[in-house]
Amino acid sequence: MARKPTSRDAILPGAAALVALGLGLAGLGLATKPPSLDPSAFAFLSTDPRPSITAHNSPAVAVHQSDPDVVAVADKIDTPLTNCTVSMSTNGGDNWTPSDPVPPDPATRCYWPDVAFNAGGDLLVLYTAMLENFNGSVGVFLQRYSGGRPAGAPVAVTGPKAFHARLAVDARRVLVTWVQVDADVPFQAGSAATSKLVLAASDDGGATFAPPVTVSKPGQLLLQPTVLVAKGGEVVVGALDLGADLLDYESQHQGQNGAPYDGRWQVVTYTSADGGVTFGDRTAVSDVVPPKRIYPDVSAPAPGFAVDPGSGRIFATWDSGRGNGRDVYLSWSDDAGRTWERPTQFARASSQTLPTVGVSTDGRVDLFFYDRSKDPTDVMTEPVLASSFDGGVTFADRSVSGRTFDSRIGFGSAQGLASLGQQLGLVSQPGRALTFWSDTRKGTADDNNQELALAIVDVKDGRGRRIPLVLLGVLLIAAGAGLALTKGRQPSSARPNNR
């Protein structure tokens, strides 16, 4: 006689259904989804009265060490006269206040500014005091700001003929690196025969500096150095090495356009294990196919570098390729710049140029660059932010400017060597990025107007919104497993006795 089904017989199918549903929800929650990027604010930060004919570019950005809402940005002006501007925000970039101009020698102008906050919260502005022509460097000076205003006299960091200076702050230490030359040549900073990359350190917050140490070896043609402090305390200097390219390094093309140098440049790093006292030989990050001819003092592209504050990994980025085949590349080092991973290529249509890299405290990696993908003629450009939540393996990207603008507007336009500057500005923070660039939408080929622009971009990890699905899936799996175990513990039903 057949046994009548009981409610217990439905337990196993029900448990299996719960487990299957839970696996589906958990899998959906864990499925890869790209980050979302949403530009939430846009503004021009140039402070000149309108209409302006100045060319603002090459923004340098710094964030207060204990208050991420306090941000400073400085830029250089190439035309009609060399100069620089400094602005500060105390509410995360929503509003900006121009600071008093850096007080250079009355016969000079501020140029090539860089910014950093010291441990006490004061802003440090590093700048080159330039004569009216691009070759006339009087020296590099460090000005401290307190409460948004210059505090005290500027400190002389270098003597004359110092170029491309950058700084980094590590607690009380202030590190400054630059290119030092001894002889002027037309259109350029100096003769390759005497050029060297040097670094000076201050252990009293920038009040005084020790004599500089030489970073590079004789004969190395280096531009655009960046100084970093690795997580282990090593001092790393990254730079652009022009190889044997005297055509560009000494502007032997006399500032005229033409075929690029047919050799190779390199992105290189130098590492010091003793805090910047001595440096080993250069390490090649990657070869670089040179762009069209450059003005080294005005348009030499700066490789981008950043340190992951969590892992200590150092990232490097640059662009390489001929014509409209220029792409952005990214590499990283886990041993303070001594060795580098094989570069990954961020390839798109037309050219991508001047990338910079940032890493937020939650590990997100951002790339920010000019992109001409929307123009097959390789002229109209726009700034694009690309963000990665997997350490730089995959990226989602978004234009942050709202429209393209002409890349031919800027210093050197009459010679076909127009420059949008030497770098872009980027602040990477959890949930957002602040992006700064040189925008020409209000300019023409006659006035060469470039304005400093800002966009605040909300960045979210697409997988972060699916955590509830994962949790629900786990609960359903646990419930199904519990039901199955309960069924397994129950005694077997009595069977009919056929005896």
Residue 450, domain member (yes or no):
yes
Confidence (pTM)? 0.86
The answer as to whether 195 is a domain residue is no
Residues 365 and 442 in one domain: yes
Measured CA to CA, the distance from residue 127 to residue 115 in angstroms comes to: 9
Determine the structural domain holding residue 472 and report its residue range: 8-31+466-489
- What pLDDT is recorded for position 322? 85
Are the C-beta atoms of 394 and 364 separated by less than 8 Å? no
Specify if 366 maps to a domain.
yes
> How many domains does one find in the chain?
2
Same domain, 350 and 430: yes
Same domain, 337 and 367: yes
121: in domain:
no
- The region that residue 171 occupies, defined by phi over 0 for left and psi between -120 and 50 for alpha, beta otherwise, is left
Residues 369 and 470 in one domain: no
Quote the pLDDT of residue 147. Answer: 84
Indicate whether 485 and 374 sit together in one domain. Answer: no
pLDDT at 230 > cutoff 90: yes
Q: Is residue 94 part of a domain?
A: no
CATH of the domain at 322: 2.120.10.10
List alpha helices for 89-130, DSSP H. Answer: none
pLDDT tens for each residue of 437-492: 999 999 998 889 999 999 999 999 876 545 676 677 678 677 667 666 776 555 54
Is the same domain home to 445 and 485? Answer: no
Pair 480, 365 in one domain: no
- Strand pairing of 405-406 and 56-63? unpaired
User: Domain check: are 382 and 480 in the same one?
Assistant: no
How far apart CA 407 and CA 380 sit, in angstroms, is: 6
Rounded CA-CA distance 320/98 in Å is 36
The pLDDT of residue 499 is above 50: no
pLDDT tens-place string over residues 148-173: 888 999 999 999 989 999 999 998 99
Distance CA 420, CA 407 (A): 7
SS3 (DSSP) at 224: strand
If asked whether residues 418 and 470 sit together in one domain, one would say no
Q: Are residues 332 and 481 in the same domain?
A: no
Alpha carbon distance 1, 12 (integer Å) = 24
